[in-house]
């Protein structure tokens, strides 16, 4: 199979998939190919789509590849879908911030950091599959431990947890305040 | 009714510290505690519930305040300084601030369902189905304005006119404001209160405006913090 043929095959798969397509999944489809060949094809596809400069492009999110529209056209799409411009509540964002950095983390810990009861928000985020239960902490009470999901990465357009925004270390904050 | 301009007592404290422009590493506990308590009072006046955690924090602040008043020895003989009664609180505030900053960053990401979209459309339902809240900043701005209005009312010598004894309901107030906005397009928030209203009317007006914001009929616009607040009519587009 020629390189071009492979790329077009991958492209078609990504087009019909309802979630990011991973290299592992492609290996099962293109059984004769090596991982490195697929990775190279994907990287080339991504660049080619970018250079095309269309209304949507190929993005790497949550460890896989998916077609996504450019943020530039959100107005048109929202109008087409007849939805109002949307905001994630600050509470949801704060809980997600804590869970994404401290995972696995218990509800008590989240409550402690925010200073308020966060069970409602946690329940909602669980429901939306942005966080999940990872197990229980082995202490009296065996409270549930939470972590973020792949869906979280996809919704926030992150390729992996390594792409989370930088967080200032607490001592750094104290240091800069003392000097500043 | 339960609504809040802040995410909790830590959020409120951070806000008070920022607007008073005090040093978080040397918080003047007495004035900050006073401001904090005044906020709780305002909530009481407006008949708005606050989470229990706010009251717990009020007690903690009171405790810290009294500890600060006690003469403190600088060392305990082993040349170690005793902990500043504020230290634990400051640690909690800094930690919370850290995650607040992160959440700000997260909100600036391209969100699937808000900024970027993928086929099939069902996937975008994740975000669009999450119930939205009124922008906290708007609530706080309105609360500040209401606080001023209530204060001016107390100070003014003119008693509220009570010729019209018919109590107005929240629904009626909502309709009244909606009509006023529909015709003029925009209105200063303060204009809603020009006829020396009773405290009851002030509260109802405030709640009516919140309801209109919640149903996306009205938007709040404030050019700069502490500048005058305008209400904009946006209902036409969302008319159901």
* CB contacts, 8 Å: A174 with chain B: 94
Same domain? A97 vs A160? yes
CATH number, domain containing residue A35: 1.10.10.10
Count of CB atoms situated within 10 Å of the CB of B116: 25
How many whole angstroms separate alpha carbon B150 and alpha carbon B197?
A: 10
Among A19, A128, A151, select the one facing B130 at the smallest CB separation.
A128
- Confirm if B222 and B228 have CB atoms less than 8 A apart: yes
Domain range for residue A37?
Answer: 3-73
Number of domains in chain A: 2
- Confirm if A127 and A146 have CB atoms less than 8 A apart: no
Q: Which residue of A has its CA nearest to B237?
A: A84
Residue A46 lies in a domain: yes
Pairwise CB contact (< 8 Å): B99 & A94 = yes
Q: Which residue of B has its CA nearest to A169?
A: B98
Same domain? A69 vs A98? no
- Listed by number, the residues of chain A in 87-146 with a beta carbon closer than 8 Å to a beta carbon of chain B are 87-94, 96-98, 100-101, 113-117, 124, 128-130
- Residue with the bigger pLDDT between B32 and A177: it is B32
- Confirm if B17 and B59 have CB atoms less than 8 A apart: no
Among A18, A157, A168, select the one facing B112 at the smallest CB separation.
A157
Residue A129 lies in a domain: yes
Q: How far is A1 from chain B (nearest CA, A)?
A: 28
pLDDT at residue number A35: 93
Rounded mean pLDDT, B180-192? 86
Average pLDDT, chain A: 88
pLDDT (tens digit per residue) in B74-85:
555 555 556 788
* A&B contacts, CB < 8 Å: 147
Pairwise CB contact (< 8 Å): A88 & B7 = no
Same domain? A119 vs A171? yes
Element (H, E) at B164: none
> Which of A47, A73, A99 lies at the terminal end of a domain, its last residue?
A73
Same domain? A21 vs A52? yes
Same domain? A56 vs A115? no
- Residue with the bigger pLDDT between A133 and B4: it is A133
* CB contacts, 8 Å: A128 with chain B: 126-127, 129-130
Pairwise CB contact (< 8 Å): A74 & B126 = no
- Residue with the bigger pLDDT between B2 and B120: it is B120
Q: SS3 helix, strand, coil % of chain B, rounded to 5?
A: 60, 5, 35
* CB contacts, 8 Å: A96 with chain B: 103, 106
- Residue with the bigger pLDDT between A114 and B158: it is A114
* CB contacts, 8 Å: A87 with chain B: 114, 132-133, 135
Same domain? A66 vs A105? no
Give the side-chain half-sphere CA count within 13 A for B145.
28
Residue A118 lies in a domain: yes
> Which of A73, A104, A125 lies at the terminal end of a domain, its last residue?
A73
pTM assigned to the model: 0.74
Residue A20 lies in a domain: yes
Same domain? A68 vs A97? no
pLDDT at residue number A171: 52
Kindly report each contact of residues B42-49 with a partner whose C-beta sits within 8 Å and lies 24 or more positions away, as own/partner.
B42/B143, B42/B146, B42/B147, B42/B150, B45/B150, B45/B199, B45/B203, B46/B143, B46/B146, B46/B203, B46/B206, B46/B207, B47/B1, B47/B203, B48/B1, B48/B2, B48/B3, B48/B4, B49/B1, B49/B2
Does residue B240 have a pLDDT over 80? Answer: no
Same domain? A65 vs A113? no
> Which of A73, A99, A129 lies at the terminal end of a domain, its last residue?
A73
Residues of chain B with CATH 1.10.10.580: 136-238
Among B98, B113, B130, select the one facing A167 at the smallest CB separation.
B98
Q: Which CATH class is domain B136-238?
A: mainly alpha
Q: In A11-122, where do the E strands start and end?
A: 56-61, 64-69, 105-106
Pairwise CB contact (< 8 Å): A89 & B216 = no
How many whole angstroms separate alpha carbon B103 and alpha carbon A88?
A: 10
Does residue A179 have a pLDDT over 60? Answer: no
Residue A122 lies in a domain: yes
Does residue B158 have a pLDDT over 70? Answer: no
Rounded mean pLDDT, B200-225? 81
Among B7, B105, B129, select the one facing A114 at the smallest CB separation.
B7
Same domain? A69 vs A99? no
Among A70, A93, A116, select the one facing B107 at the smallest CB separation.
A93
Residue A83 lies in a domain: no
Share of chain A above pLDDT 70, in %: 91
Helix (H, G, I), strand (E, B) or coil at B173: helix
pLDDT at residue number B231: 87
Lowest mean pLDDT among A17-21, A27-31, B105-109, B129-133: B129-133
């Amino acid at each position: 199979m020629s390189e071009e043929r492979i790329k077009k095959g991958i492209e078609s798969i990504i087009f019909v998939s309802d979630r990011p397509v991973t290299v592992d999944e492609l290996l099962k489809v293109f059984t004769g190919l090596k991982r490195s060949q697929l990775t190279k094809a994907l990287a080339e596809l991504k660049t080619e789509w970018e250079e095309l400069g269309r209304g949507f492009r190929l993005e790497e999110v949550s460890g896989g590849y998916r077609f996504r529209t450019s943020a530039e056209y959100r107005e048109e799409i929202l109008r087409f879908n007849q939805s109002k411009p949307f905001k994630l509540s600050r509470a949801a964002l704060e809980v997600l911030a804590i869970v994404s950095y401290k995972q696995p983390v218990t509800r008590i810990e989240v409550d402690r950091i925010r200073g308020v009861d966060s069970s409602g928000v946690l329940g909602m985020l669980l429901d939306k599959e942005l966080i999940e239960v990872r197990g229980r902490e082995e202490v009296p009470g065996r409270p549930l431990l939470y972590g973020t999901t792949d869906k979280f990465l996809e919704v926030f357009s992150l390729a992996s947890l390594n792409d989370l925004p930088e967080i200032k270390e607490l001592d750094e904050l104290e240091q800069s305040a003392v000097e500043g | 009714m339960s609504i809040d301009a802040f995410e909790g007592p830590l959020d409120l404290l951070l806000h008070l510290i920022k607007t008073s422009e005090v040093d978080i590493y040397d918080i003047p506990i007495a004035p900050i505690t006073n401001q904090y308590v005044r906020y709780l009072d305002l909530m009481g006046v407006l008949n708005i519930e606050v989470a229990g955690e706010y009251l717990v924090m009020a007690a903690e602040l009171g405790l810290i305040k009294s500890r600060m008043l006690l003469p403190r020895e600088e060392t305990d003989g082993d040349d170690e300084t005793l902990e500043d009664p504020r230290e634990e609180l400051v640690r909690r505030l800094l930690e919370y601030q850290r995650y607040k900053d992160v959440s700000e960053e997260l909100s600036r990401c391209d969100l699937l369902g808000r900024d970027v979209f993928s086929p099939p459309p069902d996937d975008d339902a994740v975000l669009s189905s999450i119930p939205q809240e009124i922008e906290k900043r708007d609530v706080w701005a309105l609360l500040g304005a209401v606080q001023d209005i209530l204060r001016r009312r107390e100070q003014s010598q003119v008693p509220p006119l009570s010729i019209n004894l018919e109590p107005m309901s929240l629904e009626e107030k909502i309709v009244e404001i909606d009509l006023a906005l529909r015709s003029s397009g925009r209105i200063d928030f303060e204009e809603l209160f020009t006829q020396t209203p009773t405290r009851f009317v002030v509260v109802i007006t405030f709640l009516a405006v919140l309801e209109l914001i919640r149903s996306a009929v009205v938007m709040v616009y404030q050019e700069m913090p502490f500048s005058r607040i305008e209400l904009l009519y946006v209902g036409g587009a969302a008319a159901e």
